[in-house]
Amino acid sequence: MADNQEKETGNVQDEKSPEGQGTEYSYEIKIPKDRVAVLIGKDGETKKSIEEATKTRINIDSHDGDVRVSGKDPILLFQTREIVQAIGRGFNPEIAMLLLKQDYIFELINLLDFVRGKNHLVRVKGRIIGSEGKSRRTIESLTDTHISVYGKTVGIIGEMDGVYQARKAITALLTGSKHSSVYHMLEKFRKQMKLRRMMLDEGFENFHDAADESSEDISEDNKEE
């Protein structure tokens, strides 16, 4: 079974809940076994803190990496699922908990969609991470996101505009674009985001989305040979 495979079950009534106490919902998620201890935390503190923050219950099968999250609030339950998935894909719990903030989202890129074998996988991961992590840090800094390269996936956490641009940058690198061209695109995006925030602070509510301004694709001339 793939290490990021999940099974979703919705509209499931909790057998432990008395009749008339409302319907509970649940998701079943599978995470890599080496991430189970991170999800649980020392003395169960990470699991407990997630449950308390989201008013959900998390049941973990440490042997198989199967996780079941249950709760009555569909929105909080969805956020809990995203947090568990993010931890499963290499994020530390503190970063994953940012998904409880308004407008924060979690995006996952499957590297197998871009590679042609094990050696190619190693190479494309290296392009995203960069020498001593420089490429990943640069993308994170220019998009105000957090990026985790783990196994055969790349995870991104941040606000929607930033995640969109980070995904676009990573996809460009995966398809052969030069790092310098990708950074130039992101620097333009960051300048536009600063201008957008300044305009919004001044009350210009109709100022259009900065992400639209940097939506042009990187030309073929800027691809690596």
pLDDT of residue 170: 97
* Domain annotation covers residue 1: no
192/175 Cα distance (integer angstroms): 25
Q: What is the residue whose two structure tokens read 């800094």?
A: 141
Domain boundary residue, one of 100, 115, 135? 100
- Asked whether residue 150 falls in the same domain as residue 212, the answer is yes
Q: What is the residue whose two structure tokens read 């052969």?
A: 176
Tallying the residues shown for the chain, one arrives at 225
pLDDT of residue 17: 52
- Asked whether residue 187 falls in the same domain as residue 114, the answer is yes
Domain boundary residue, one of 82, 100, 118? 100
Asked if residue 93 lies in contact with residue 38, where contact means CB atoms within 8 angstroms, the answer is yes
What sign does the CA torsion over 8, 11, 16, 21 have? positive
pLDDT of residue 196: 73
The number of distinct structural domains making up the chain is 2
- Asked whether residue 128 falls in the same domain as residue 180, the answer is yes
Strand partners, 157: 106, 146
Span 39-79, pLDDT tens digits? 999 999 999 999 999 999 999 999 999 999 999 999 999 99
Q: What is the number of alpha carbons within 13 Å of residue 172 lying toward its C-beta?
A: 27
pLDDT of residue 209: 52
89/154 Cα distance (integer angstroms): 8
Q: For residue 90, what are the domain limits?
A: 6-100
Checking 204-209 for CB contacts under 8 A at 24+ apart, the result is: 209/161
134/189 Cα distance (integer angstroms): 19
* Domain annotation covers residue 178: yes
- Asked whether residue 74 falls in the same domain as residue 137, the answer is no
Positions of the chain with pLDDT under 70: 1-22, 200-225
* Domain annotation covers residue 218: yes
